[in-house]
Amino acid sequence: MGVASCLVVVVFLLVASVDGGLGPIVTRQTRQVDPDAFTSEIDQELSVGPTYAPLVLDMYVPENCTNDTAVIDKLLNGTGYNKHRVPGGSGVQVNVEFWIQEITSISEITNDFEMDIYINEIWLDPSLNFETFNPCKQNLSLNYQVLDRLWTPNSCFVNSKIAEIHDSPFRNVFLMLYPNGTVWVNYRVKVKGPCMMDLSKFPMDKQSCALVYESFNYNNYEVQMRWSTAVPEAVYRLKEIRLPDFDLVDIESWHEAQMYPAGMWDELHVKMTFERRYVWYFLQAYVPTYLTIFISWVSFTLGPRAIPARTMLGVNALLAMIFQFGNIMRNLPRVSYVKAIDVWMLVSMTFIFSRRPGADAVPSAGSDKAAIKPVHQLFEAPPAGGIQVDIAVRKTTTGTGTADSSPGEARRSSHEAKYMFDVQRYESQAQIEQRSKWAAPCCRMRCPVWTPDRIDRASCVVFPTLFSIFNVVYWSYYSQAT
Ligand SMILES: *[C@@H]1O[C@H](CO)[C@@H](O)[C@H](O)[C@H]1NC(C)=O
Ligand SMILES: *[C@@H]1O[C@H](CO)[C@@H](O)[C@H](O)[C@H]1NC(C)=O
Ligand SMILES: *[C@@H]1O[C@H](CO)[C@@H](O)[C@H](O)[C@H]1NC(C)=O
Ligand SMILES: *[C@@H]1O[C@H](CO)[C@@H](O)[C@H](O)[C@H]1NC(C)=O
Ligand SMILES: *[C@@H]1O[C@H](CO)[C@@H](O)[C@H](O)[C@H]1NC(C)=O
């Protein structure tokens, strides 16, 4: 057991290091949404608190400039601005950017994931150009009430289960207008989207979740939806995303034109790939299984006489495995294909179970000497029963007038011999042939005598070897798959 526990520790360390290596620490430049809001520093009283950066008041302000409210009034009141008219006349390009703030959950049971993202949409609306107004500021920061009076592409997630703009304490919509008519809208949205769960490699699996963003009202002659090319990644994380049991390892984004009955629509696809962090499963399923299997091998050393101890070890090990298996399965959907953990658990159970006929089913040496006759002795002679019957039948058929049989009995016997098929004789002859056929090569090869002790000693080598081979095959297959 010293060796076994040592092995467990080595395997554990190995997997811990592998997991650390598999989860790449993605370092990217993070974009700060609002870097100048405040800076945190330690003040004289040695307490940490935000100290507001001094407001820049000596900004250059043009003389006789038009202030924000005046600009909005001039733009939207009485200038013929129509929020139902698609800007630009011949179609507008909407550039989209997603900033992933947080992914809160991924559920295997409901096949979905939930996240908070900032959706950025940028388009040019020439009728909102206010360069000629001599504006006081080079951009106007506005809220959702102004947005309601502007044209918007009415885009949405077409495959989401739930999507809502955060509403507390007010609608989380940011709107910025530039003098050249560029509109930048930013929503903070909670979205629940679908995942295609393929658990066949569970718990060494990767799952991908996808979202499709498109304009709901306008086809691609009116609105061209595009991922923004102004930034290196149109979809990126504001920080590294690590869920309790998943890491976000990859984000893909692409654009597709999709045919609908009403025309062609531009779809923006984003696919996120999550890799499961399987340390929990390793600790909860694999390590206990290793221990259970190692303990079940202890019965080889108990000797063939210790039937109660061996049986108890075997049954307890099986029960423990079933319990662990049930615990893990409880949080998974009932899929109809084989998962990696199923393979593991079933093979491990087979290892524990197949140990029993090999070891425990051999009768103990003390109870019945005849039963532990070496295997080759069983094949040497045909069983006596067949021949005895054969002789008896022959005797009754030939000697009709023997003294020890009554006339009636003799008549019946001759009757049987004449009209009935001698099943016992036929069987015994076939058995003899069969046995001699099987026994001959075995005896030529001088096969070893399989006593329970020998079986135990062989099992001591064979079972760990088979289990090691299974481990190598299992881990190499499932770890290359991830
Ligand atoms: C600003 O307005 C005042 C009064 O209307 C006018 O006298 C002045 O010339 C204007 N300044 C500029 C730079 O237009
Ligand atoms: C903005 O300008 C208008 C007219 O030019 C003026 O009536 C209003 O008081 C100004 N508002 C602010 C906040 O300066
Ligand atoms: C512009 O229109 C809005 C709403 O339509 C109104 O509340 C506001 O008073 C108007 N402003 C002017 C200067 O007419
Ligand atoms: C908006 O204008 C202010 C100055 O008026 C400038 O400091 C700021 O960087 C501008 N923001 C953007 C996003 O262009
Ligand atoms: C409009 O102005 C913004 C900010 O100055 C700039 O980023 C953008 O490229 C301009 N758009 C066009 C079409 O000139």
77 lines ligand 3 (CB under 6 A): yes
Q: Which atom of ligand 5 is nearest to the CA of 138?
A: 5
Question: Given 41, 59, 77, which residue is the final one in a domain?
Answer: 59
- Ligand 4 pocket residues where CB is under 6 Å: 137-139
Low-confidence ranges of the chain (pLDDT < 50): 1-4, 6-49, 357-359, 361-405, 423
Is 265 in the same domain as 158?
Answer: yes
Q: Which atom of ligand 1 is nearest to the CA of 64?
A: 1
* Residue-wise pLDDT tens digits, 374-410: 444 444 444 444 444 444 444 444 444 444 445 555 5
Q: How many structural domains is the chain composed of?
A: 4
What secondary structure, in 3-state letters, does 235-292 show?
EEECCCCECCCEEEEEEEEEEEEEEECCEEEEEEEEEEEEEECCHHHHHHHHHHHHHH
Is 183 in the same domain as 152?
Answer: yes
Q: How many residues does the chain have?
A: 482
Q: Which atom of ligand 5 is nearest to the CA of 178?
A: 2
Q: Which ligand is nearest to the CA of 74?
A: 3
Instruction: Say if CB 479 and CB 204 are below 8 A apart.
Output: yes
What angle in degrees, to the nearest 10, is found between the helix axes of 384-398 and 423-444? 140
DSSP E strands, 147-220: 155-157, 162-165, 173-177, 182-196, 206-215
Q: How far is the CA of 239 from the centre of ligand 5 (A)?
A: 28
Is 170 in the same domain as 303?
Answer: no
pLDDT at 321: 87
* Residue-wise pLDDT tens digits, 415-437: 555 555 554 555 556 565 655 55
Q: How far is the CA of 69 from the centre of ligand 1 (A)?
A: 20
pLDDT at 60: 73
Half-sphere exposure of 142 (CA within 13 A, CB side): 23
Q: Which atom of ligand 5 is nearest to the CA of 182?
A: 1
Is 105 in the same domain as 143?
Answer: yes
Is 363 in the same domain as 475?
Answer: yes
Instruction: Say if CB 341 and CB 326 are below 8 A apart.
Output: no
Q: Answer yes or no: is 282 within a domain.
A: no
Query: Which residue puts its alpha carbon closest to atom 13 of ligand 3?
Result: 73
Which domain, by its residues, includes 341? 291-367+461-481
Query: Which residue puts its alpha carbon closest to atom 14 of ligand 5?
Result: 180
Q: Tell how strand 173-177 and strand 162-165 pair up.
A: unpaired
The answer to whether the pTM exceeds 0.85 is: no
